[in-house]
């Protein structure tokens, strides 16, 4: 099993840790890699770590035990960020981190069904107690809806023939494992096999876990729980997430909806964020060489503005 390496940990600390005695939230604490870096640099600070994965919380509790009462871990969805923060006495925090990737521990566990590289059940749930696995979804979905999922969430242009092949495999009883799913995709003879497989698995995972809806809710609540001067940092790994983050930050920085030719703002909407990273931050060559899974990572950071009357 691969060791999980936190992506752009130094950059996260540089942008996020603005006060050594501050309060921070890691919305995707996972294996605790970023949390450890934050706590080591915010030496008098505290951290609230969230994760949907119960196994990750249990494992990370052991790894972060040396930090004692400075750490609170909660199994929960970052779409409930504000509620969870308030329940733990946090009204305003100094930094909020979203690392939207998956840990090597999750990807390399065949029983989780996230990867086409190992055989396991077609599951893909972050929360094992979730209502519907990818296998259940595929047993019920229509060809048309499956094509839509693959096109919208996987940005795969050949969504229709791929959906047709998957449904055919289902009807013929050939859709039990991740290898079966991969075989149905490869039966359409894609030009770039691994790229296409990645897109299809990504699309199903996003659909099963409601990832984009959760991200939208989490980003909005991050602004609410930050103190003025506090920062939100997001590491994304595919274009759907990155576009959502970029657009959210821009809307918060320039919320005015008035016509451009209006001499002054009449809508009354005030900016709540200032974008810190005008250009997206990506891993350096040395990090990508050491951790190939970091290759597609993109970091964006914004800072909460002082309240305006």
SS3 74: strand
Q: Are residues 173 and 219 in the same domain?
A: no
Name the CA radius of gyration of the chain, rounded: 21
SS3 72: strand
Q: Are residues 98 and 148 in the same domain?
A: no
Query: Domain total for the chain?
Result: 2
Residue 34 near residue 56, CB atoms below 8 Å: no
Q: Which two tokens stand for residue 303?
A: 């800072």
Low-confidence ranges of the chain (pLDDT < 50): 1-2
- Tell me: the pLDDT tens digits for 260-288? 888 888 888 899 999 999 999 999 999 99
Question: What is the pairing mode between strands 23-26 and 93-99?
Answer: parallel
The dihedral sign for the CA sequence 101, 102, 104, 108 = negative
Asked whether residue 111 is assigned to any structural domain, the reply reads no
Q: Are residues 197 and 228 in the same domain?
A: no
Q: Are residues 223 and 91 in the same domain?
A: yes
Q: Are residues 197 and 222 in the same domain?
A: no
Q: Which domain holds residue 247?
A: 9-105+211-304
pLDDT of residue 128: 80
CA dihedral defined by 119, 135, 55, 4, rounded to 10 degrees?
A: 50
Q: Euclidean distance between the first and final Cα of the chain, in Å? A: 53
- The domain that holds 203 is classified in CATH as 1.10.150.170
Q: Are residues 204 and 228 in the same domain?
A: no
Maximum Cα–Cα distance for the chain, whole Å? 65
pLDDT of residue 4: 67
Q: Which two tokens stand for residue 120?
A: 């396991």
Single pTM value for the model: 0.91
């Amino acid at each position: 099993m691969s060791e999980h390496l936190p992506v752009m940990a130094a950059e996260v600390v540089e942008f996020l840790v603005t006060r050594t005695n501050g309060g921070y939230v890691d919305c995707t604490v996972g294996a605790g890699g970023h949390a450890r870096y934050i706590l080591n640099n915010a030496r008098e600070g505290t951290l609230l770590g969230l994760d949907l994965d119960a196994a990750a919380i249990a494992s990370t509790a052991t790894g972060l035990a040396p930090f004692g009462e400075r750490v609170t871990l909660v199994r929960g969805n970052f779409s409930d960020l504000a509620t969870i923060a308030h329940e733990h006495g946090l009204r305003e925090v100094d930094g909020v981190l979203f690392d939207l990737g998956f840990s090597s521990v999750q990807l390399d566990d065949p029983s989780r069904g996230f990867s086409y590289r190992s055989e396991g059940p077609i599951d893909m749930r972050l929360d094992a107690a979730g209502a519907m696995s990818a296998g259940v979804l595929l047993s019920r979905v229509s060809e048309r809806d499956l094509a839509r999922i693959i096109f919208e969430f996987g940005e795969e242009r050949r969504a229709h023939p791929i959906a047709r092949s998957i449904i055919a495999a289902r009807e013929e009883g050939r859709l039990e494992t991740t290898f079966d799913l991969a075989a149905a995709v490869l039966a359409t003879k894609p030009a770039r096999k691994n790229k296409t497989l990645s897109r299809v698995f990504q699309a199903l995972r996003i659909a099963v876990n409601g990832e984009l809806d959760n991200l939208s809710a989490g980003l909005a609540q991050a602004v609410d729980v930050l103190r003025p001067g506090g920062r939100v940092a997001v590491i994304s790994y595919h274009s759907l997430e990155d576009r959502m983050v970029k657009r959210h930050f821009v809307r918060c920085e320039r919320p005015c909806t008035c016509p451009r030719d209006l001499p002054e703002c009449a809508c009354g909407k005030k900016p709540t964020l200032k974008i810190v990273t005008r250009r997206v931050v990506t891993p350096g060559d040395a990090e990508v060489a050491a951790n190939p899974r970091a290759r597609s990572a993109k970091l964006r950071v914004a800072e909460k503005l002082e309240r305006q009357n």
